[in-house]
Amino acid sequence: MDRTYNKHEKLKSQKLIEKLFTEGKSVSAYPLRLVFMETTFDDNVPIKTGVSASKRHFKKAVDRNRIKRLMREAYRLNKTIYFNNITTSYALMILYIGNSKPTYQQTEQSMNKLFKKFTNATSKETNNEKTT
């Protein structure tokens, strides 16, 4: 897995996003929340990811876009560490749930905590499936 965030890695399907929020599971590492769901993709991509910032907390589009840019960059740089050995496909949505503008360092630290929780949650699920 390379350190890029190309078009085919982005979560864009409205149907899949709606299904993700209704049926998906989530983990949180304040101020980030990750909603995930196991799925399959036609283009053999292991993970498709989307990012979002709340319009309720950040009225100006400039602020929301900056937060999303920070989250995408933190994801791009850290995805190889956590998702390199992944065997199943996942749809991920990373949400910024805080109400203050973050710095890049804060975003990256929260992203690392979030990915650790995600890997723990998915490994527990696979262990439970193997035992039953």
Q: How many structural domains is the chain composed of?
A: 1
Tens of pLDDT, residue by residue over 3-38, are: 888 899 999 999 999 999 999 999 999 999 999 999
Position 29 in a domain? yes
Residue 44 banded pLDDT, cuts 50, 70, 90: confident
Which CATH number covers residue 110? 3.30.230.10
Q: Is residue 123 part of a domain?
A: no
Retrieve residue 17's tokens: 């996003």
**Averaged pLDDT for residues 101-124:** 93
Average pLDDT over residues 40-46: 88
Q: Does residue 127 belong to any structural domain of this protein?
A: no
In which domain, by residue range, is 23 found?
7-117
User: pLDDT tens digit string along 49-77?
Assistant: 999 999 999 999 999 999 999 999 999 99
Q: How confident is the model at residue 84 (pLDDT cuts 50, 70, 90)?
A: confident
Do 48 and 17 contact (CB within 8 A), yes or no?
A: no
Q: Which residue has the tokens 């049926």?
A: 23
User: Is 38 inside any structural domain?
Assistant: yes
**Does 19 reside within a domain?**
yes
Average pLDDT, the chain: 91
